Structure 1
Amino acid sequence: MLTVIGIGPGSEAMMTQDAIAALKEADVVVGYKTYTHLVKPLVGDKEVIKTGMCKEIERCHLAIDLAEQGKNVAMVCSGDAGIYGMAGLILEIVTKQKRNVEVRLVSGVTASIAAAALLGAPLMHDFCHISLSDLLTPWDVIEKRVKAAAEADFVICFYNPRSRGREGHLAKAFELMAPWTSPSTPVGVVKAAGRKKQEKWITTFGEMDYSNVDMTSLVIVGNQSTYISDGLMITPRGYTL
């Protein structure tokens, strides 16, 4: 059995009971080193296999090989395993290569949901997720999605917004959105949600400071109806009060 587990944004308090149970039942835990560290208190003396960045394919093959040997394997991913996680890659390999492995998926709290709860209620109307990482998606495709989402007035959740290798991607995304986005549009940022160094702040589209945003950050840009009140970011659903 290979169980692909979404462990949430970082704290045990934000993990589902199903995820905790699956970890406890596993013989072997496989994952990116940061994520295996986050679940260390739940793993005990189990075998742990960890890999670094850009080793996703290798990591999935290791997990599948172990499962084919009859071991109960847990592949851990941050947030939800099916949202920018390993669920898709595991299923691609297993189905395309006809591997003899039973795969179970355990959902988790994705970053946008964790961040939204800390900021207020910014996701009360239609919203979308856009990753600004162009490691696997061409930048011209990302640009089209950003412009289309802004023109359609979606609340936009930006994953992988900024890193040392992509310092200008978030600023570029804001430039692309500018024709359809008012400078007064609320923007919320949550950094390291659910972890020890968690930070959050609310600003506006026109006053956005990109310098403190990094790969652990989730950026939520409101729509035309989103507003700030009492330090909270609120997107009306449309009820008549």
Structure 2
Amino acid sequence: MLENRHLLDTIPIFNEDDKNIYTYIPPNDSNEKSRIDYIWASLPILGQSLNSTVIENDHFTTDHNTVTLSLDTQLFIGKTLPKINKSKKKITRTVFLYDEMDQEDDEFTWDNFRAGLDHEIERLKLKDRSITKRKHVDHVWDSLRQLIMKSANENIRNKKVIKQKFKCAPEKKLSVYFDLRYIINRIQEICSCITGLRNHPNQEVINKWINYQNTIIKLKDKYELFTSDTIFTFLNNDQFHSYLDELNEIRKQLRIMIKEE
């Protein structure tokens, strides 16, 4: 419905592995993670967007992560801010060089990392903290995470690299994006269909998937995608399983196109 109005889910545009990005983390491990939180943006907004991602909430307790969309301030105030734009270009991230650990006569060793971490844990008496509520677990984990990063920065060789921002205008990706969403929707539908199938599908289901297949063949020709040349009949469950593999391969190639566009 929203996509029909040219409002787009921002996460798949800026992230290749969006199927592995979750916003809801259930407290019970037996329940599945999911992405139920979204930002939907119009093309003009996306044209001025820098990135969209999901981050953890460190300031309050919740089982949801936060969806973010980074925007260029020029869109809203009508002029650039040189100082902000200059610093924005210099945003860096830390890359840890694990392959360069434990070199001869080098201070960057795994023993030093472990020793540094143990020292900090002992200094804060982290092992002695009483845990009776969930918030206590959160506090201990937050402290441990900070100590791990502190020891890593001090004892694991690393370097700073400049973050690469999203360079291509989303308008150029719009056609591929909608076709990718179509394939993802068909994948979800065929998975539900496979779950509901017992032996052989009825003629209505067969006809529907033959029509889907004809549409998807045109989509493959449009982007010159190379997948199986098999024409599926959808007469049994095996045919649906095989076509699911076909759809997953098409999705993979379309994601690559979005990344390289």
TM-score under structure 2 length normalisation: 0.21
Q: Which has the higher strand share?
A: 1
Q: Which has the higher helix share?
A: 2
Larger Rg: 2
